[in-house]
Structure 1
Amino acid sequence: MTGLAGPAARVGTDLAALLAHVADAFALGDIASFSVLTTGYEDCNVDVTTAAARVVVKVFAPGRAAGIAARTAGLITAAHAVGVRHPRLHRDAHGALVLSYHQHQVLVMDFVPGQTIYDRGRAPSRSELAGIVEQAAAIHTIDAHLEFVFDPWAITNLAPLAGQLRDVLNTEQSRLVGQALEEAASVDRAVLPVVLIHADLTKGNVLIGADGAVSVLDFAVANRFPRVQELAVMAANLTHGSPEPLPTRVETIAELYSAAAEVPLSTVERVALRAFARAAAAMELLGALAEWHHHGNRGPETEYLIGLGLAGLRDYGLS
């Protein structure tokens, strides 16, 4: 398609025709309306209203790994089995969860009324945060060993990404990222418990329903990593906007997680979590700067993430 911007530009075929095909394959009836959800950097999610239902159609970009949709659907199914709330996936007329169309992999799921934390424009409340942490703890019980999926925003990519953006960083950013790198390098990752983590529990992937219930969205980059890596991303991104500095938010999440998880965080994990959260803030800054300078994504979400990452790194200088 031509003339499109944002997530819709990631669809390499006519979007209306794709959605019509999806509606037919999943017996959803004629499409009444649709709108592209504007957050995110990889795939295209579309809010679709048809004669029979309101759904979200997730269209994976053409360059995504083969089998990514099936992998994601399998993880969502496994998450449901341990009590994680994620919108229900639909099956097509043949019972399949995944549809292929013109080099795109597609999933269809229920539309859940509510707002993401990002759309709410604030940090989650204490009770909301506790509910999100409970969902994370449940995810960490999933016994799944899947093929690794590369995530450019993962903390493990901090050092190479910092090197790629060396000429982009200003003096303050370079100093703060360097401090995060130094602290992260001091952590012995080999002693940290590894589990399946969602890996992207950020403001855009946590939905607060009309009834106040917490739902988790999008398992596309779930991988096996130290569980504190999950909590670090939550602290740096999800709780941004709280009046408390990042190190204090880290301690709050550590307490909530230890109360919810089958095995509380160890002393070693708590120390590592502080370093990981600093690294997570650095990754938010660097990932957004890469989108801004290298990929031309200069919208409000990217600008927001640059500020989010910088604020978290500055918090460590105050602690």
Structure 2
Amino acid sequence: MTGLAGPAARVSTDLEALLGHVADAFALGDVGPWSVLTTGYEDCNIDLAAAAARVVVKVFAPDRGSGIAARTAGLITAAQALGVRHPRLHRDTRGALVHAYRGHHVLVMDFVPGRTVYDLDRAPSRRELAGIVEQAARIHAIDANVEPVFDAWAITNLAPLAGQLRDVLDTEQRRLVGQALEENAAVDRAALPAALIHADLTQGNVLLADDGTVTVLDFAVANRFPRVQELAVVAANLTHGSPDPLPKRAETVAELYSAAAAVPVTAAERVALRAFTRAAAAMELLGALAEWHHHGNRGAETEYLIGLGLAGLRDCAALS
């Protein structure tokens, strides 16, 4: 077990009591060993080994709103119907996917063996990356109209977040973010095909099994955006650590997507890809700096993301 720090601090009730309640409500049997998963900046995910099953309990922070859990469960169900690999959701003894307890909403899902790309501490192989991109193409085929949710790390927030952090950025960071802002402002978004995208296909949300099987986690910030935005996030975040510079990695992601999707990457998307990829790198830097300076999240993950974003922006500047 872990103490009440990091993600556990996002839960406003006693974790042991919560897990005992969840185990009873989902007929999981006696509570065994458990630990809080430490990555991520939203909600609290708990690895629970109960008598009947090993599961992950996702506890939504109270400030996320009462509808976010149901929205997430609905998107996961729709994604699974199209062959997206996400851990199976459990129903409570009343048949509901979403369970409420003392101001929190909870989802319970299977524990899936494997390690996140973040924990593996390496870029995916080309075969693994093809599997990830194929999952993205399946997600983009979901025919669902959902209410948008705010995502602080989305590329749409680039300009306001850059403004909020202007005094935090050093000279190099200000120059690199400025280049991303300028290039992103010139994009004709009306010309870009939109889709429901996962919006957070990052190292912490992709599990790889020993055989290379890809499992996608967490649909909480899925939104309707240009689908090239998904490709840019995959390139900027998931492929970090590859020997190729970021623009080349983005081209590889686009190539793999065209092979997997019903509608290949369009000419307009190819033109916009570099700007979106640069913006995605900028958002990694800015989002992590906001966590560091504004929210006090000064752990290894935040430091890593600052370096990831800065490296991507330097790649883009070198190849401009």
Scaled by the length of structure 2, the TM-score of the pair is 0.98
Q: What is the DSSP-based 3-state SS (H/G/I as helix, E as strand, rest coil) of the residue aligned with 1:63?
A: helix
Read off the aligned partner of 1:234 and give its amino acid letter.
V
Q: What is the DSSP-based 3-state SS (H/G/I as helix, E as strand, rest coil) of the residue aligned with 1:247?
A: helix
Deviations along 1:225-265, one digit per CA (max 9) or x if unpaired, are: 00000000000000000000000001000100011000001
Alignment of 1:139-218 (within 5 A): 139-218=139-218
Read off the aligned partner of 2:68 and give its amino acid letter.
I
* Whole-angstrom distance in 2 between the partners of 1:143 and 1:204: 26
Residue 47 of structure 2 is matched in structure 1 by: 47
Residue 302 of structure 1 is matched in structure 2 by: 302
Identity %: 80
Residue 313 of structure 2 is matched in structure 1 by: 313
Q: What is the DSSP-based 3-state SS (H/G/I as helix, E as strand, rest coil) of the residue aligned with 1:201?
A: coil
Residue 88 of structure 2 is matched in structure 1 by: 88
* Whole-angstrom distance in 1 between the partners of 2:212 and 2:180: 35
* Whole-angstrom distance in 1 between the partners of 2:263 and 2:62: 40
Moved >2 Å (runs of 4+) = none
- Aligned residue-pair number: 317
Residue 8 of structure 1 is matched in structure 2 by: 8
Alignment of 1:23-42 (within 5 A): 23-42=23-42
* Whole-angstrom distance in 1 between the partners of 2:211 and 2:14: 36
* Whole-angstrom distance in 2 between the partners of 1:128 and 1:40: 22
Residue 265 of structure 1 is matched in structure 2 by: 265
* Whole-angstrom distance in 2 between the partners of 1:186 and 1:280: 15
* Whole-angstrom distance in 1 between the partners of 2:8 and 2:303: 20
* Whole-angstrom distance in 1 between the partners of 2:230 and 2:281: 13
Q: What is the DSSP-based 3-state SS (H/G/I as helix, E as strand, rest coil) of the residue aligned with 1:296?
A: coil
My pick for the range that moved more, 211-220 or 156-165, is: 211-220
* Whole-angstrom distance in 2 between the partners of 1:210 and 1:66: 37
* Whole-angstrom distance in 2 between the partners of 1:252 and 1:227: 15
Read off the aligned partner of 1:245 and give its amino acid letter.
P
* Whole-angstrom distance in 1 between the partners of 2:190 and 2:168: 32
* Whole-angstrom distance in 2 between the partners of 1:140 and 1:275: 21
| 2:137 aligned with 1:117 | no
Displacement of 1:211 after TM fit?
A: 3.4
* Whole-angstrom distance in 2 between the partners of 1:317 and 1:156: 21
* Whole-angstrom distance in 2 between the partners of 1:150 and 1:316: 27
* Whole-angstrom distance in 2 between the partners of 1:212 and 1:261: 20
Which consecutive residues of structure 2, in runs of 5 or more, have no partner in the other structure? none
Deviations along 1:33-62, one digit per CA (max 9) or x if unpaired, are: 100000000110000001110000000001
* Whole-angstrom distance in 1 between the partners of 2:231 and 2:270: 10
Displacement of 1:10 after TM fit?
A: 0.3
Which consecutive residues of structure 1, in runs of 5 or more, have no partner in the other structure? none
Deviations along 1:132-162, one digit per CA (max 9) or x if unpaired, are: 0000000000001101100000000000000
* Whole-angstrom distance in 1 between the partners of 2:70 and 2:23: 19
Residue 108 of structure 2 is matched in structure 1 by: 108
* Whole-angstrom distance in 2 between the partners of 1:309 and 1:146: 30
Deviations along 1:172-203, one digit per CA (max 9) or x if unpaired, are: 00000000000000001111111000000000
Displacement of 1:108 after TM fit?
A: 0.1
Q: What is the DSSP-based 3-state SS (H/G/I as helix, E as strand, rest coil) of the residue aligned with 2:64?
A: coil
* Whole-angstrom distance in 1 between the partners of 2:48 and 2:307: 32
Displacement of 1:79 after TM fit?
A: 0.4
Residue 57 of structure 1 is matched in structure 2 by: 57
Read off the aligned partner of 1:157 and give its amino acid letter.
N
Residue 254 of structure 1 is matched in structure 2 by: 254
* Whole-angstrom distance in 1 between the partners of 2:212 and 2:249: 22
* Whole-angstrom distance in 1 between the partners of 2:268 and 2:190: 11
Read off the aligned partner of 2:99 and give its amino acid letter.
L
Alignment of 1:199-238 (within 5 A): 199-238=199-238
* Whole-angstrom distance in 2 between the partners of 1:179 and 1:66: 39
Deviations along 1:66-117, one digit per CA (max 9) or x if unpaired, are: 2100000000000000000000000011110000001101000000011000
Q: What is the DSSP-based 3-state SS (H/G/I as helix, E as strand, rest coil) of the residue aligned with 2:312?
A: helix
Deviations along 1:4-57, one digit per CA (max 9) or x if unpaired, are: 210000000001100110000000000111000000001100000011100000
* Whole-angstrom distance in 1 between the partners of 2:313 and 2:20: 46
Q: What is the DSSP-based 3-state SS (H/G/I as helix, E as strand, rest coil) of the residue aligned with 1:277?
A: helix
